[in-house]
A = this chain, B = another copy of it.
Amino acid sequence: MATARKHGGGSSPAPVQAASVGATIYSVAERAGVSIATVSRVLQGAGTVSAKTTQKVLDAVEELNYVPLGAARSLAVRHHEAHGLVLPELTGPYYSELLMGFESRAAELGQSVTLMLTDGKADLARAVRQLATHVDAIAVLGSAAMPPAVARALHGQKPVVIIAGAPQEGIESVRAENAHSAEQLTEHVLAHGRTRLVFVGDPEGAPDITERHAGFVAAHRARGLEPAPPVRVPFREGEGEAVAERILAGEIDADALVCANDELALAIMTHLQDAGRDVPGDIAVVGWDDVMTSRYVRPGLTTVRQPVHELGVIAAERLHQRVSGGQPVLEPQILPTQVVIRGSCGCGHR
């Protein structure tokens, strides 16, 4: 009688039982009248198994509704075939697109993706360590408030790539170009004859924003102008209304707003319009990200499009390379962005 061991039913022939929850490679082997090695071979497509035997195994698998235990395989092959992705949250299209890119590439490479959101997590370090036990490699979004210490601890244990974050010693990173396009965008607004531009967003809030602000400053300097200090606000939607109120109240004097992202820009623009201001007549507004809404509002929002999906794809790609023994690419990879001109900057478009 086939493989006995602690496993097999033991003495009597395998009873014809309905698909049981506990089907293992042993029960399948027994049912098919072969060894577990053979079952493993047909399931992995490895080695050579005769057509007839293959069919027997497949039948047994089907009858038992066998679902292999991933953990056992992972233990044996010593990798999880899973990538971790750490994001702050998922509002707005940015993170979603990134995630879609990441997931699709990971899937193509045969890796599943385990997602972790940091917002609202009390013990982040613990959560990340926990994640690390289940995956082969981890991608972290820069602004995911992950203590640099955690990133460093992970690094050295598992391959890590930072997405859109401040580069850290020895850790791979991939991000979109910011400073140059911000300079371009700002120069475009300046070229419309605007003179009192204000940057809205917190340059210290995230690495991306820091760079965008730097571009804003650079464009001014290039014309020998001194930029006004930024209006430092987090880029949640609610903040936009508050900023609009300050403008309406005359607290902020500006004829153009360069906002850290579209959500902020849209909230401000809509609020100003509802209060009777003309955009871009009285004040121009531009944003960053090219979210869906930016196409629908009137005037259309002038903004910058980032290759977010691509960012996710590359991150997944890099992780896989590293897990497969590839060397880290230490120079940060920087993807180009694109200024999208619509009407809110003062151009004639609608």
Residues of A within 8 A of B (CB): 19, 21, 65, 67-75, 80, 82, 89-91, 93, 95-97, 99-100, 103-104, 107, 112-117, 120-121, 127, 129-134, 153, 156-158, 237, 263, 266, 270, 274, 292-293, 296-298, 350
| A72 neighbours in B (Cβ, 8 Å) | 71, 75
Q: Cα distance A2–B121 when bound, in Å? A: 39
Q: Cα distance A296–B264 when bound, in Å? A: 12
List the number of copies, as a whole number.
2
Nearest-CB distance from A78 to chain B (Å)? 8
Q: Cα distance A263–B21 when bound, in Å? A: 42
| A157 neighbours in B (Cβ, 8 Å) | 19, 21, 65, 67
Q: Cα distance A72–B107 when bound, in Å? A: 24
Of B19, B21, B112, B153, the contact of A131 (CB 8 Å cutoff): B112
Given contacts A82-B114, A104-B117, 4 further A-B contacts (CB under 8 A): A80-B134, A90-B99, A104-B120, A114-B115
Nearest-CB distance from A88 to chain B (Å)? 11
Of B133, B237, B298, the contact of A70 (CB 8 Å cutoff): B133
Q: Is the CB of A350 within 8 A of B115?
A: no
28 pairs of residues in contact across A and B, judged by CB atoms under 8 Å: A21-B156, A65-B153, A65-B157, A68-B133, A69-B75, A70-B74, A70-B80, A71-B72, A71-B80, A71-B134, A74-B74, A80-B134, A82-B134, A90-B96, A90-B97, A91-B96, A95-B96, A96-B96, A99-B115, A104-B117, A107-B127, A114-B114, A237-B292, A266-B296, A293-B293, A293-B296, A296-B297, A298-B298
